Chains A and B, each alone.
Chain A
Amino acid sequence: MAVLVDNEPGVLARVVGLFSGRGYNIESLTVATVSEDESSSRINLVTSGTPMIIEQIKAQLGRLVPVQDVHDLTEEGPHVEHELALIKIVNAGSERREALRIADIFRARVVDTAVDSFVFSLTGSPEKIESFLELMRNLGDVEIARSGVVAIQRGEKRKKDV
């Protein structure tokens, strides 16, 4: 879901409070300013529920005064979903070489190297990141930072003000 909101204090608390107050689930959430004058932010939010619940979530979000626009990208057609993950792996020897080889296959970039660790940067679908992590966990101690999904509709159409 893409939610365009006024960039003002408390707006994220309103959105998050709505989800907890009404018992909806947030699987991931990211937020950043997207307008040139910094007056609007876009919240990318992943949630799940029956069609009736999703309809309710959209209506409830739309009802918040600082919310300008709500789009259910899953409903509205083709879109691109991306997530960024930073993965630190601590290991040595053959496992270290194997980690590097797999990172290459996944086109993960090495953004930091130490004697006994790498930090990889990987972007892609949440599924891709999930399978990369699964392999990495076999090869050493893993620490993960994920951005959550950001998404945008394919094609020329441009969402208002973004």
Chain B
Amino acid sequence: MSGAEIVIKALADQGVDVIFGYPGGAVLPLYDALFKQNSVRHILVRHEQGAVHMAEGYARSTGKTGVVLVTSGPGATNAVTGLTDALMDSVPLVCLTGQVPTHLIGNDAFQEADTTGITRPCTKHNYLVKHVDDLSRAMHEAFYIARAGRPGPVVIDLPKDIQFAEGDYLGPDEITHRHYRPQTVGDPARIAEAVDLIAGAKRPIFYIGGGCINAGPEACKAVTEFVRATGYPATATLMGLGAFPASSPQWLGMLGMHGTYEANLAMHGCDVMVAVGARFDDRVTGRIDAFSPGSKKIHIDIDPSSINKNVTVDVPIVGDVGAVVGQMLESWKKKNPQIDGKALEKWWGQIDSWRAVDCLHYEQGQAPSEAIKPQYAIDRLYQLTKDRDAFITTEVGQHQMWAAQFYRFDKPNHWMTSGGLGTMGYGLPAAIGVQIGNPDALVIDIAGEGSTMMNIQELGTMAQYNLPVKVFILNNMWLGMVRQWQELLHGGRYSETYSAGLPDFVKLADSYGMTGLRANQPDQVDDVIKQMLETPGPVIVDMVVSQEENCFPMIPGGSAHNEMLLGANDHQEQTKTEDGMVLV
């Protein structure tokens, strides 16, 4: 068997049915092998970054490992942003990169790049296969490593001569990693300690992160069951949305920089915090020395390095969320603890008073002269699609935060966004990947006009495969989030944030043979959304929204959870400290 055939056989044996890629000189043998088989489908992208985001969207919506195939040199370097994104958001990927033949490595050959060197800090692990006999092992180990423990991207660099070389194939059952076995089951003593702490809480909160989603739908079910069993309030990070149903009365909304008033104040004022698969990211904690000062913290995470990294916790539990929460639930049921109902009632009373502030409130005038509020557009999109089990992806910026605030998720794996890296241009290719993995589903990319332009070339991929993705652009003609920071922190000096030179998105859609729709007035919003949903095939919606709208609530850089800005009139009160300014 040739090296290229070994790769394809390994993919098939790993259950891979689709890969996202772009051909080139150093992967010609692989593309030749692809041509001669039927088990693996190839999706031709328009840029390698797009391929990686598609694989991410595919992986996150299906729970499978995403696979990417790119050529050497520029193919590999173009994939770097996507790989970093997958690393930050713990998405299981295997990325195959072509490489110049082994005898040319180090010679500055045509389209040579030190791929393993470049991708070392932006992958969970990587391989350079120098002998065809090592190829099966690298392939199967890569799939294992991508999924085991905290998931992440794995690169396999494949020199062209290895793809041609003849070697023996070993199946997945014949290969195990020598020693990489992340701990999945929690320490029972810690679990008992945590359960006692949770049972005795007076002002508790569950802080749910993307780790729950990564642990799978069963783990999310266990988390939901545990939260319900306690009757305690729950919030989630941007990455954790959908792990706990937003329709539950115990749901407080997202927390963090643009999280809800009630979620952030509950985090600030709680006495017991249960962090489940969350990593105390700076977008979540705000000013770290003022983060939830009076609470005992329980932290469940599969990655030991996430524990005590940003915030010191009282009860660390290393393990898989599904396993650990299962253990906790069992212990909880066995103990059937007496919780302090009176204290809990008081706590909910306090939370209800924060809820009454209605921090996500916006005013949408209905007169034709009024501008469409972006919040209104997303609100209506949610209302008109909530019964359709839609998959939502986003780009990065204001629209992303509004989507997180106004679109409500009851199920995991339906929300795909670039959280850790904040990669503009993520949403369109991710939506394509989601659609490939879920051909009959409604897939919507909630986008901004700025981010959309960053991977706009993938419209070509959408067109080629006639994917019915709906690109829902909130067009405010500004790089809105940066403009907002310039307004609030840099004296309204809008340096280079105006979106000049934009295409006419309706005509753009037309030129790709897609449907383009536009709404300029509030009373057109519903009609356009309905039309978008009724139109088969790909649709681009140009939702022309208010240019001035800012995303609130907001915890400015360097501020604590209880120093939130609720609206535009609030911002004079904020102290513009140097410390706050240097934070991003």
4 A-B pairs with least C-beta separation: A59-B305, A65-B125, A59-B304, A60-B305
**B445 is an interface residue with CB less than 8 A from chain A:** no
Please give, as numbers and ranges, the residues of chain B lying within 8 Å of A30 by CB-CB distance.
none
Minimum C-beta distance from B133 to chain A (A):
15
Q: Is the CB of B128 within 8 A of A63?
A: no
Residue of B with least CB distance to A57: B305
Q: In the complex, what distance in Å separates the CA atom of A21 from the CA atom of B120?
A: 11
Stretch from B306-314, B350-358, B408-416, B563-571 that touches the partner: B306-314
Q: Is the CB of A62 within 8 A of B305?
A: yes
Q: Is the CB of A65 within 8 A of B120?
A: no
Q: In the complex, what distance in Å separates the CA atom of A17 from the CA atom of B125?
A: 13
Residue of B with least CB distance to A6: B178
> Which residues of B424-450 have CB atoms within 8 Å of chain A's CB atoms?
none
Q: In the complex, what distance in Å separates the CA atom of A68 from the CA atom of B116?
A: 21
Please give, as numbers and ranges, the residues of chain A lying within 8 Å of B309 by CB-CB distance.
56, 59
Q: In the complex, what distance in Å separates the CA atom of A133 from the CA atom of B179?
A: 43
Stretch from A7-15, A94-102, A115-123 that touches the partner: A7-15
Please give, as numbers and ranges, the residues of chain A lying within 8 Å of B121 by CB-CB distance.
17, 21
Q: In the complex, what distance in Å separates the CA atom of A65 from the CA atom of B120?
A: 12
**B491 is an interface residue with CB less than 8 A from chain A:** no
**B180 is an interface residue with CB less than 8 A from chain A:** yes
Residue of B with least CB distance to A13: B120
> Which residues of A56-86 have CB atoms within 8 Å of chain B's CB atoms?
56, 59-60, 62-63, 65-66, 68
A and B contact pairs by CB, cutoff 8 A, 30 listed: A6-B178, A6-B179, A9-B128, A10-B116, A10-B120, A13-B117, A14-B120, A17-B120, A17-B121, A21-B121, A52-B308, A52-B312, A55-B308, A56-B305, A56-B309, A59-B304, A59-B305, A59-B307, A59-B309, A60-B305, A62-B304, A63-B150, A63-B303, A65-B124, A65-B125, A65-B145, A65-B177, A65-B180, A66-B125, A68-B179
Taking Cβ atoms with an 8 Å cutoff, the residues of B that contact A are: 116-117, 120-121, 124-126, 128, 145, 150, 177-180, 303-305, 307-309, 312
> Which residues of A26-72 have CB atoms within 8 Å of chain B's CB atoms?
52, 55-56, 59-60, 62-63, 65-66, 68
Knowing that A9-B128, A21-B121, A56-B308 are A-B contacts, what are 20 other residue pairs whose CB atoms are under 8 Å apart, sorted by A's residue number? A6-B178, A10-B126, A10-B128, A13-B117, A52-B308, A52-B312, A56-B305, A59-B303, A59-B305, A59-B307, A59-B309, A60-B305, A63-B150, A63-B303, A63-B305, A65-B124, A65-B145, A65-B177, A66-B125, A68-B179
A6, A10, A52, A66: which has the most chain B beta carbons within 10 Å? A10
Taking Cβ atoms with an 8 Å cutoff, the residues of A that contact B are: 6, 9-10, 13-14, 17, 21, 52, 55-56, 59-60, 62-63, 65-66, 68
Secondary structure dominating the interface of A: helix
Q: In the complex, what distance in Å separates the CA atom of A14 from the CA atom of B120?
A: 7
Minimum C-beta distance from B181 to chain A (A):
11
Minimum C-beta distance from B106 to chain A (A):
13
Minimum C-beta distance from A50 to chain B (A):
11
Minimum C-beta distance from A16 to chain B (A):
10
Q: Point out the residue from A14, A63, A65 that lies within 8 Å of B304, measured CB to CB.
A: A63
A21, A56, A60, A65: which has the most chain B beta carbons within 10 Å? A65
Q: In the complex, what distance in Å separates the CA atom of A10 from the CA atom of B305?
A: 22
Minimum C-beta distance from A99 to chain B (A):
44
Please give, as numbers and ranges, the residues of chain B lying within 8 Å of A65 by CB-CB distance.
124-125, 145, 177, 180
Please give, as numbers and ranges, the residues of chain B lying within 8 Å of A55 by CB-CB distance.
308
Residue of B with least CB distance to A18: B121
Minimum C-beta distance from A90 to chain B (A):
38
Please give, as numbers and ranges, the residues of chain B lying within 8 Å of A6 by CB-CB distance.
178-179
Q: In the complex, what distance in Å separates the CA atom of A76 from the CA atom of B124?
A: 29
Please give, as numbers and ranges, the residues of chain B lying within 8 Å of A68 by CB-CB distance.
178-179
Q: In the complex, what distance in Å separates the CA atom of A10 from the CA atom of B125?
A: 11
Residue of B with least CB distance to A66: B125
Q: In the complex, what distance in Å separates the CA atom of A68 from the CA atom of B178?
A: 9
Q: In the complex, what distance in Å separates the CA atom of A66 from the CA atom of B308?
A: 23
Residue of B with least CB distance to A39: B178
Please give, as numbers and ranges, the residues of chain A lying within 8 Å of B308 by CB-CB distance.
52, 55-56
